[in-house]
Amino acid sequence: MLEKPINVLVVDDSAFMRHTIVKQLESEPLIRVIGTARDGVEAVEIAATLRPDCITLDVEMPRMDGLGALARIMKQSPTAVVMLSALTPEGAEATLEALRLGAIDFVCKPSGTISLNLHEVRDDLIRKIKLAVRSRLPASLPPVTRPARPPGEPKPSRPAGSSPRRVVVIGSSTGGPRALHQVVPALPCDLPAAVLIVQHMPPGFTRSLAEGLDRGAQLTVAEAAPGDHLETGLALVAPGDHHLLISPDSRVRLDNQAPRLNGVRPSVDVTLSSVAQVYGPAAVAVILTGMGRDGARGALELRARGGRVVAEDESTCVVYGMPRSVIEEGGATDVVPLPRIAEEIVRLVND
């Protein structure tokens, strides 16, 4: 039986980019481009009329930008959206906001001028479109809660340099940024644990992710750097393209030379294995939404050493891949829906 074609709407303010994206997508037999739009206003109107299965959406456009269009689309005619992002700090910040608003995933535009053709990222874009249409739309999930710390309110102070007796490792992939914005702001500043966050994301985006989480969190959130010491009330985000490991003296070690594991770097498995060896029963792993099996092997190793492993319940996952693999391999000690995960972390680290 033939698979049903995926109907795609392509949105970009550049006629050259629209033509190039259409050409690249239509080289895939299972994808059919049913329309194009040059700005957010057209995108909202066409999405409501044609009801595509997926939209590729540029961020910077006249009249209405990608974020404005995304918010309207998710409210009026919820659709799987894959963002096209520029490799700039501004592009990274806008893309992360798009993921929080409901986009499933993103693809980085190639750098250059006339080379802005999607040959370099064709396979990645097609793969993510196929994944997006199989994912659960964030609009059907519990809404992301407001940050625990209102904008402009000073961050609560935490004991400087206090060594943690516990470590929490949070691993996530597709749908992860949105989930992290629900979990991390709900963790208290006096959490008696250090937190490590491993989100599958390319270089340049993890710093923006850390900064965005830090703005709403009671914890201090930062992108990890070599030699950082784990501290209570501090959450460190693994940098893109670097595995994050912990040395016996609880310092961060970053490795961008070791091979990708499970096709990714940073890998949740790498961090969990390292933390399991140093902290053993004093460690807690949390596996959130994401495609693939990254985290399953590390969760088993951590559980074998006495640690606790929380897997996100299927009912709240954008993609039920990573949590399912942890559960099926027998690594999970607890299965919890997203809105209760922060509460579960607090309970476990205070046991």
Catalytic residues: 173, 200, 294
Tokens 């250059």 belong to residue: 112
The contacts of residue 249 (CB under 8 Å, 6+ apart) are none
Amino acid at the residue 117: N
Read off the tokens for 24.
């690249």
Read off the tokens for 163.
């060594």
Among residues 248, 287, 243, the alpha carbon closest in space to that of 267 is found at 243
Q: Report the DSSP pairing between strands 234-237 and 54-58.
A: unpaired
Q: How far is CA 156 from CA 63, 97, 125, 145, in A?
A: 40, 24, 41, 19
Provide the phi-psi class of 50: left if phi over 0, else alpha when psi is between -120 and 50, else beta: alpha
- Sign for the CA dihedral angle at 290, 295, 297, 303 comes to negative
CA 295 to chain centre: 14
Q: Do residues 233 and 165 touch, judged by C-beta distance below 8 A?
A: no
Q: Do residues 100 and 177 touch, judged by C-beta distance below 8 A?
A: yes
Q: From CA 329, how far away is CA 66, in angstroms rounded?
A: 40
